[in-house]
Amino acid sequence: MQQQQQQQTQMPTPQFKFEGGHLVMYHQEATGLPTTRDSNVNDRDRMTDMLSTEKYLNSSYDTFLNEASHEALFQVVKQNHTKCQDLQRQLYTTMFKKGWYKLAVADAQSVSDAFTKATQLKTQLPFPSNLGQMSSNQGTNVSITKAMQEAQQQMQQQQATPQQTSQTAQTGRSQAQTVSPVQSFTPAQQQAATQVQSAVHSPQQNQH
């Protein structure tokens, strides 16, 4: 059984070539597309049907895994899911090799455009880039602990100075009130405004 599994995993990676903007096998085998065109089910139809059956099984198993509660059952289903994914891949590779699949190649310009946009998006990521340290988990752990320390420091700072921050917010508000009304209002309104200001200021003075 192990030998079989090894054979399955050691499928030769297909060699590609571009043909009229399409990705096709380099050595497309002689069989190619079925020559007879009639209503009978041919080899290609059978392979296509089996491929879609595997796709259906894969999505069904995915739901099963999401819903499963029992741990041992989860492991069994996970293994079955992986096996089905392998089968789907094998069916696809075989069909591609026979030339039963032709895929359009992406335009080089649009690839580089997408890459530029993705690179710009990366500035929003919270952690420093881990490229090059992907194989070692230590790199990510370090950045996570660093982020946690920073978050804790921020929390402590907020806890240490809650009064200061609220006071600055209040003074900021009262300054805004003094600046805007005085310029445009009549003297009587100015008086009223100053009264309101003193009323606003008074609780602060009491605090001091």
Partner 1 sequence: MSQSEQMTPLTEKDLSYMKDAIHWEMLACKKAYQYAHQTLEPECRQLMFQVAEQHQKNLEAIVQHMGEHVQQSVQCAVGGAQPMSTHQPQM
| Assigned token pair, 143 | 């950045």
**Residue 177, Cβ neighbours under 10 Å: how many?**
13
Is 32 a binding residue for partner 1 by CB under 8 A? The answer is: no
Tell me the C-alpha distance between 61 and 53, whole Å.
12
User: How many chain residues are in contact with partner 1, going by CB under 8 A?
Assistant: 33
- Residue from 23, 62, 85, 87 that binds partner 1 (CB under 8 A)? 87
Strand order in the sheet with 103-104: 16-19, 22-25, 103-104
CB of 23 to partner 1, least distance (A): 20
CB of 95 to partner 1, least distance (A): 9
Tell me the C-alpha distance between 55 and 89, whole Å.
10
Tell me the C-alpha distance between 202 and 208, whole Å.
10
The residue (of 47 and 142) whose beta carbon lies closer to partner 1 is: 47
CB of 41 to partner 1, least distance (A): 8
| Residue range at the interface with partner 1 (CB under 8 A); choices 82-90, 119-127, 154-162, 181-189 | 82-90
Tell me the C-alpha distance between 102 and 94, whole Å.
13
Identify residue 57 by its one-letter amino acid code.
L
Query: Site residues for partner 1, window 39-68 (CB under 8 A)?
Result: 41, 43, 46-47, 49-50, 53-54, 56-57, 60-61, 64, 67-68
| Assigned token pair, 207 | 């605090």
CB of 101 to partner 1, least distance (A): 14
Residue 114 host element (H or E): helix 108-121
Is 91 a binding residue for partner 1 by CB under 8 A? The answer is: yes
Is 84 a binding residue for partner 1 by CB under 8 A? The answer is: yes
Q: Cα angle at 53 between 52 and 58, to 5 degrees?
A: 95
- Residue from 6, 15, 36, 71 that binds partner 1 (CB under 8 A)? 71
**Which residue ranges make up the site for partner 1 (CB under 8 A)?**
8, 31, 41, 43, 46-47, 49-50, 53-54, 56-57, 60-61, 64, 67-73, 76-77, 79-80, 83-84, 87, 90-91, 94, 98
